[in-house]
Structure 1
């Protein structure tokens, strides 16, 4: 919003010309979302407790989780409010990419809200039936993919960028819809699966947001895009403002979510954040980079797929419990150790993914 008002604001003070500088707005977006999440966090915890919006713990889960029963959930509201306010103030609201990402963030947030609400009302861990959850996720993902294809079919935004390959960028055509669907829905559910320990999902999300912000700056700047041999996409660097908002909101939420958590993210946060990272990666044509950055998410998801598939096939389990972080818990690893080690792995994967940008 402030970008739109810049030409009027400079009439009163010349310093408002800084609003045209994306680095300045990136920093402001980060601090705005951080402050908003910190400011409303404690208040949200109080009201969620008052409304009895408490986490329902799986009875077949690790026994160490039983003491978490009753911890407020739906803390993703804090993240969504912080991101939305920050983007409203510091992003260029005339940029179509901003609206696409925010639509995905809020629509998946609504799906997560309904899921969390049903769990609280019915006092079980079922929530929204899986088929309805996937139907609505699919409808939104396919709708967004159609819009993005219409907008970007004359640009690089419908091409596939491959790691370590300098000269081969494939036009996807109809496969663009399939890849877009898989990335948005897949990343959304991968973050949701990972969100099982205090702070486990939020820091990898923050790291990926930082990585995508760097890529957005480079992709939206012709000189840097040429240097890194990635496609230049005009006006795409504005997505860095949303990444900064995710960065700030994530750290602010971690203040309350760190072990032992005062509040849980819930599906409203995990589904929304995962889908948002997915759609940003798609718009930047860096789905393959997201596979590297989000390695922790994919390992967690693969552990569930392998566990279920192998049990149906052989009637035996590979892990003591899936997702894999529960396997390590049951093997006696303290929860903070599992969490921090996943953070370390995420940071390493982030750095590896950024290195691949240059190795082409």
Structure 2
């Protein structure tokens, strides 16, 4: 199993230490005293990836709580408060209390995730390098957009009020395409422990088009729970009906998923606690899915893709959970701070990256159903308005207002009701996703 901390004779596995080899050699030099005191067993647990993932939740949560108020005070001094304006007088009345609340709070989320990854993840892993790159790139893009919008009034009249929609989309797509290409190249690297034909099978498994109900592996295998599962599962072939994506198809799908999820989370960030809560619940689901994908035994038992080297992405998912929970401390209604594009673009991009890396794009659409419902409601509203204006000369709307959380708000739901119900829907959708995995 990945992350199983010890080797024979009480020797720690340096590949499981989640950091510098210096720590490994330090522990090895102290092995005698550690074995005498029994502390070696504690270290074996501490170095397991599952433990580090749960520790990441606590660390990132604590970091947001520790730095939350100082960062909020700094944002207030910078006068980067939100001034929401909508093309709907009733909605402006409902959201009037949000005026002046500092935004760009996403620096809290992204900063705590980054620090937690650097502290607890395996920094020699290419998948961890990519996670850091996605986090930093999308947070910088969002921060630049936020800063332009929030400081335009203080700059020369006529200055840019944020990035133009096509500019932001172009950056998102370009970054997503680049990251998807790197994921593809990483998937073709000979995995550790893979030999000959088995290595080729694992490389193909990391590039499959993973569809609901489709078995990735050819035959289900029943294993003895008391036997060495890795030996029993070794050599299981891919299902001949599975499609292994080439470079073009992989990059196209990855670009749509990463950029699309980034946009969807960004659109959903319109109520106190909505985006942070839904992302937090989705990250819980993906921490479990990453654990499955990173373990050959678990992946082949459940007939889903096995992607060698992804186990440490559990730490990334754990950091996302903790950061979102910590941010909710300040973002729950009435919010003291908003995440802005700085947080929403980065969280969405990181969630999309996890899905692409472990080949669970279809389950992302289900687990993140709220995000894609929000994005779809905007597309349908705009599209229907333009269509009816062409046909009848007067544009009509499908919803009272889009995104759809405003539709329910204008329909009589309180902001807290909308947020809580969307959280509950995400939990139910996550359970449905696990049921789909098991049904294979």
**How far is 1:78 from its partner?**
0.4
Give the gaps of 5 or more residues in structure 1.
none
Would the aligned equivalents of 1:2 and 1:19 in 2 still touch at CA under 8 Å? no
Which residue of 1 is the match for residue 24 of structure 2?
Answer: 7
Greater shift after overlay, 145-154 or 132-141? Answer: 145-154
Distance 2:151 2:317 in 1: 33
- The number of equivalent residue pairs is 360
Aligned positions of 1:105-124 closer than 5 A: 105-123=135-153
**How far is 1:288 from its partner?**
0.3
Matched, 1:222 2:296: yes
Would the aligned equivalents of 2:60 and 2:116 in 1 still touch at CA under 8 Å? yes
Which residue of 2 is the match for residue 46 of structure 1?
Answer: 73
Q: Deviations over 1:28-53 (max 9, x none)?
A: 11111010011001111111001111
**How far is 1:219 from its partner?**
1.1
Which residue of 2 is the match for residue 140 of structure 1?
Answer: 175
Matched, 1:347 2:347: no
Match of 1:308 among 369, 382, 404: 382
Matched, 1:260 2:295: no
Distance 2:77 2:184 in 1: 45
Distance 1:8 1:258 in 2: 45
Q: Computing the radius of gyration over CA atoms, which structure comes out larger, 1 or 2?
A: 2
SS in 2 for 1:201: helix
Would the aligned equivalents of 2:139 and 2:342 in 1 still touch at CA under 8 Å? yes
Q: Which runs of 4+ in 1 moved over 3 A?
A: 11-19, 123-126
**How far is 1:130 from its partner?**
1.1
Which residue of 1 is the match for residue 406 of structure 2?
Answer: 326
Query: Cα distance 1:60–1:9, how it changes in 2: closer, same or farther (>3 A)?
Result: farther
Query: Cα distance 1:161–1:347, how it changes in 2: closer, same or farther (>3 A)?
Result: same
**How far is 1:164 from its partner?**
0.9
Distance 1:105 1:68 in 2: 27
Which residue of 1 is the match for residue 60 of structure 2?
Answer: 33
Aligned positions of 1:275-314 closer than 5 A: 275-314=349-388
Would the aligned equivalents of 1:30 and 1:248 in 2 still touch at CA under 8 Å? yes
Would the aligned equivalents of 2:286 and 2:317 in 1 still touch at CA under 8 Å? yes
Distance 2:72 2:259 in 1: 29
SS in 2 for 1:215: helix
**How far is 1:126 from its partner?**
4.8
Distance 1:316 1:358 in 2: 44
Which residue of 2 is the match for residue 128 of structure 1?
Answer: 163
Which residue of 2 is the match for residue 170 of structure 1?
Answer: 243
Would the aligned equivalents of 1:6 and 1:17 in 2 still touch at CA under 8 Å? no
SS in 1 for 2:206: helix
**How far is 1:56 from its partner?**
2.1
Would the aligned equivalents of 1:58 and 1:125 in 2 still touch at CA under 8 Å? no
Would the aligned equivalents of 2:18 and 2:47 in 1 still touch at CA under 8 Å? no
Q: TM-score scaled by structure 2? A: 0.79
Greater shift after overlay, 131-140 or 250-259? Answer: 131-140
Which residue of 2 is the match for residue 22 of structure 1?
Answer: 49
Which residue of 1 is the match for residue 109 of structure 2?
Answer: 79
Q: TM-score scaled by structure 1? A: 0.96
Q: Deviations over 1:149-183 (max 9, x none)?
A: 12213512221111111244211212111101100
Matched, 1:90 2:120: yes
**How far is 1:138 from its partner?**
1.6
**How far is 1:2 from its partner?**
5.7
Which residue of 2 is the match for residue 151 of structure 1?
Answer: 186
Which residue of 1 is the match for residue 228 of structure 2?
Answer: none
Distance 1:9 1:85 in 2: 23
Query: Cα distance 1:219–1:2, how it changes in 2: closer, same or farther (>3 A)?
Result: closer
SS in 1 for 2:65: helix
**How far is 1:237 from its partner?**
1.0
